[in-house]
Amino acid sequence: MKELTPSETALNPQGGDGPTELAARVGHRVRAARKEHGISRRVLSERSGVSPRYLAQLEAGEGNISIGLLQRVAQALDSKIEALITENAYSDPKALQVAELFQRADKKTRESVLQLLRADPTNPSRAGRICLIGLRGAGKSTLGAMAANALNLPFVELTRVIEGMAGMPLPDIMAFYGQEGYRKLEAQALDRVVDEHDRLVLAVAGGIVAEPDTYATLLRRFHTIWLRATPQEHMDRVRAQGDERPMQGNPAAMDQLKSILANREDQYARASAQLDTSGHQVVDSLQDVLSLIRNNHYLD
């Protein structure tokens, strides 16, 4: 294959590394990726159209390669050009391969991988604390109480702690203190739960993710499980509990619920693990919760 002629415009990123550091990094990553694929420089030359001599210079950090040539080398290595250039990209070829496979995977597989990567059972700050998060109607109270009973752990609802601290029910707290006052009480209540319990199952209100500092504390001090469900199931479960408020006089209630879920989804996804309860019986979801806790060693 005829070798391409390097263009006059070579790589020269703005800020960060100078040309020497960039050339060395690109050379290292090309060499590592080639070895990971188990191919010789000659084979890479045939695949990319770049001569063995030029590839040798590139891998040695001496090649002033153009964007066009580097793109061909990246494609020949089943890689992306940014993985060879970016300062904080994957330097380990296996990590790069994982990233490539992750991009091609379906949503369910991606979520499973993220759960495994997020798991940190050795973190002593979380102890044996488990917290269920998610929108209203996800099953946090029901599954939380049942899981705690099965595991012989105390079950705590954070809203009850807040009410105890304020000496009034939640509607009165909101009327008297407002949203800002409630959030302050919520943060204080969470700190109290951490101080009083090393092992428990906690259920929190769905809006806790809207307060960055409080949510950061929750993620740091608890093994968090996001209980997911479809918007329709969230609504149906709330109504099945005898609460018609979400729909009364509000024909746009379902659209609002979908909007809330969409806005919070990225925050909920930061949880240690996720569990989709859509279409599942309570007893089946309970077994899924217990299996998740066991498999991730949250109580070890």
Domain ranges within the chain, ordered by starting residue: 19-104, 108-295
pLDDT of residue 14: 42
**Which residue type sits at 190?**
L
Q: Alpha-carbon distance 227 to 133, whole Å? A: 6
Question: In whole angstroms, how far apart are CA 186 and each of 8, 84, 111, 202, 220?
Answer: 60, 46, 29, 13, 16
**Burial of 118: CB neighbours in 10 Å, binned 0-12, 13-18, 19+:** middle
Closest CA relative to residue 136, chosen from 246, 297, 58: 246
Q: Alpha-carbon distance 87 to 104, whole Å? A: 23
pLDDT of residue 246: 46
Q: Alpha-carbon distance 276 to 115, whole Å? A: 13
Q: In what order do the strands lie in the sheet with 223-228?
A: 155-157, 199-203, 128-133, 223-228, 273-276
- Give the pLDDT of the chain (300 residues) as one tens digit per residue: 444 443 333 444 444 456 677 778 888 888 888 887 788 888 888 888 888 888 888 888 876 667 777 778 877 877 777 667 665 545 555 665 676 677 778 776 776 676 566 555 556 789 899 999 998 888 899 999 999 999 999 999 999 999 999 999 999 999 999 999 999 999 999 999 999 999 999 999 999 999 999 999 999 999 999 998 887 776 777 666 655 454 455 556 777 778 887 888 889 999 999 999 888 889 999 999 999 999 999 998
CATH fold match for the domains 19-104 and 108-295: no
pLDDT of residue 50: 84
Q: Alpha-carbon distance 67 to 189, whole Å? A: 55
pLDDT of residue 5: 40
The dotted CATH code for 19-104 is 1.10.260.40
- What do you get for the CA distance between the two ends of the chain, in Å? 59
pLDDT of residue 10: 41
In this prediction the pTM is 0.59
Architecture of domain 108-295: 3-Layer(aba) Sandwich (3.40)
